[in-house]
Amino acid sequence: MTLLTLKTIEDRLFTAGAKTIHVEHFFRTWVSMKMFNDQSLNYPKLVKEEINQLLDEMNNSAQIIQEEKDGEDSSKLIVRLQDGEIIESVLLPRGGLCVSCQVGCAVGCVFCMTGKSGLVRQLTDFEIVSQLRLARQIRPISKVVFMGMGEPSHNRRNVLSAIDFMAKFSGIGYKNLVLSTVGDRRLFNELEQRTIKPALAISLHTTSDEKRKELLPNAERIPVIEIMDFASRYAKNTHYPIQYQWTLIRGLNDDDQELDRLEKLWLGQFAIMNMIPVNSVEGSSYVRPDSDRLSVIEDKLRQIGVLLKYRESAAQNVNGGCGQLRARYQAQKDEANG
């Protein structure tokens, strides 16, 4: 089965006789959820015919098959792809959307359900962008974060292509397109060379190189200090604060030694620290710190000038942290099939 890509769609339109203005109008209309009107431009007949064929294929390439709400502002979308694979997207408060970039993930974060399934396949750039269009069928979207299933640096060509597409055609600026990564030198090098850069989030989780090996077993072995040095340069070049992500696990990365090391590493950072008490994952012994410890961490970090935000992994009320709804859906499907 051949999966659609943005390049494939573009090539088919050009082959049918479209000019650049036609292709750009089509993409902008499609991702903005506007009705396609071939009278708004003087489309050649063959281009109109190709567009009708493409729209059928594009609409069948990714479909929402389930939505589970988490309060009024958030919900998790289960999306079935053309080949039957399942991914997740999350509608976030204030017009946000969290998208996936892979089916499964190879990093194997020990606190994440997605990592337990391993990497199944990469998403195409079109499949990534399709999640934005699907979400816009439900409500307006003004910010996209690449923090769903998968590690963006392991699919960087398609992720960066999707980011460029969104910035050009969707009305969402680069500052509101947030690329998240565990750290990857190839991605860092490519980001530094790009003229226009997305906002950046770093999945840090600890100041200890040894603990990172335990928590993120298949991530590239980059020293924490190197990751944070790159992040500091990137923030200064883009004028966007880095968003550090830290999943808090009791007895593992919530101790005073972590906070002392973080104080030294934080010097010169233009950044926000998002700390997320670990989400319960079936079969895992990891638990979140108690409320008293969270208060101590908050007081300490604010004393040393860290802008701290505590937040929950999206869709907790529906047992839907990253990968959990997909896993539950697959288990129910397997059970139904005997």
Contact (CB, 8 A) for 253 and 216: no
What would the pLDDT profile of 9-52 be if each residue is shown by its tens digit? 999 999 999 999 999 999 999 999 876 665 667 889 999 999 99
Whether 307 shows a pLDDT value over 70: the answer reads yes
Catalytic hit among 98, 105, 112, 322: 322
Catalytic, 85? Answer: no
Percent of the chain with pLDDT over 70: 89
> Would you say the pTM of this structure is higher than 0.85?
yes
For strands 242-248 and 271-277, give the pairing.
Answer: parallel
What span, in angstroms and rounded, lies between the C-alpha atoms of 148 and 78?
Answer: 12
Q: Give the pLDDT score at 327.
A: 55
Catalytic, 322? Answer: yes
Whether 177 shows a pLDDT value over 70: the answer reads yes
What span, in angstroms and rounded, lies between the C-alpha atoms of 14 and 12?
Answer: 5
Q: Across residues 308-321, what is the average pLDDT?
A: 64
Q: Which residue has the higher pLDDT, 231 or 110?
A: 231
156-169 vs 125-136: helix crossing angle, rounded to 10: 40
Q: How confident is the model at residue 318 (pLDDT cuts 50, 70, 90)?
A: very low
Contact (CB, 8 A) for 107 and 216: yes
Q: How confident is the model at residue 316 (pLDDT cuts 50, 70, 90)?
A: very low
**Out of 52-61, 270-279, 286-295, 309-318, least confident range:** 309-318
What would the pLDDT profile of 81-133 be if each residue is shown by its tens digit? 999 999 999 999 999 999 999 999 999 998 887 777 799 999 999 999 999 99
Q: Residues with Cβ < 8 Å from 98, sequence gap 6 or more?
A: 89, 90, 92, 144, 145, 146, 147, 148, 314
Q: Which residue has the tokens 């906070």?
A: 259
Paired strand residues for 79: 64, 87
Q: Which residue has the higher pLDDT, 287 or 331?
A: 287
Percent of the chain with pLDDT over 90: 81
Q: Across residues 184-207, what is the average pLDDT?
A: 96
Q: How confident is the model at residue 6 (pLDDT cuts 50, 70, 90)?
A: very high
Catalytic hit among 50, 88, 127, 258: 88
Q: Residues with Cβ < 8 Å from 94, sequence gap 6 or more?
A: 73, 142, 143
Whether 330 shows a pLDDT value over 60: the answer reads no
Q: What is each CA distance from 11 to 5, 6, 23, 29, 132, in whole angstroms?
A: 10, 9, 9, 18, 22
Mean pLDDT of the chain: 90
